[in-house]
Structure 1
């Protein structure tokens, strides 16, 4: 079995676990907004793991590996990852701000979706107009692609962590300290897991392991 084959198998295992979790969440008899957000968060992790598995199959040449397919899988990863991070931020924000109304939540969601839409359109145009800019001679993405892949998600993750930790300083929020710490642990874990995965030549699914573990722990 190739290293990418193992990568896909681990992603598939994580997808199955999250699908079971999603089924469990859907059966919860509660109208609370934070459960709806958590359900959406789990769903987008599943979507990312599927996209990431297709990326691995293209890199392993199980699927045809050419300029179009390489750009396509890297494009989908680059637009799904910010959506995952955005949903992490929204779950963290709602979990630590129970006083927010639905109107306030909808307004916040609208504002925070704007950078994702801009990246979605800008990357699509640039990949279409200048595909050679994004790939080297071996059809591998250039370093600037990984900066784009990580930049917007990191802003969402770090903002959610910092805002959650700052709220623990007030006595009113001390009762929910466990919730804040769970939310805050996601970002440093993502940084370590993502960095370790890059260190191991992108062939070890550490990021998938961490995301699945922290989601289960939060649930």
Structure 2
């Protein structure tokens, strides 16, 4: 009854069962990391699609919500954003070109322009939502350590310091309105602002889905 001998015997049996095709790799579903404990090698890795639902949520009645995004297609960059009230109704939207060679620069420019738009419209309780986690890190962190974008980050923080704000992350699927505007912004020569009656049709359709509370589907890849 020596424990290491018992464990070794069990491992040998499981390996024999696997080699005899009595135990299959599907039996290890969710426990692929234990294969090597049984000296089993050359295991096929199965990639599973996991689905989750992503929703865009309306702000409280005393807040307005600003969704922004940036886009870079390898040649040109653009940004876009949309401002909505507690009913999910669009107040204003924008898109425009960005001088830069990265999506991060476009993201920062989009937030800065969006905050300026909110201030000009007289709003000072702003819920900002983005799909780039790095932006949250820059805003919530006291340092400005990113040398390349130091001045943009500083300007963004200065603009926010004069307002009541909160910021959150949303997956790209739920940030469809801002994403579509940013892609259009890549091909523009100057910034454009929209109201509900002249916003691009694709954005207007996505905004209606958000207002109705319909979810988006996001696929995750998982190893089993």
TM normalised by structure 1 equals 0.23
Greater per-residue helix proportion: 1
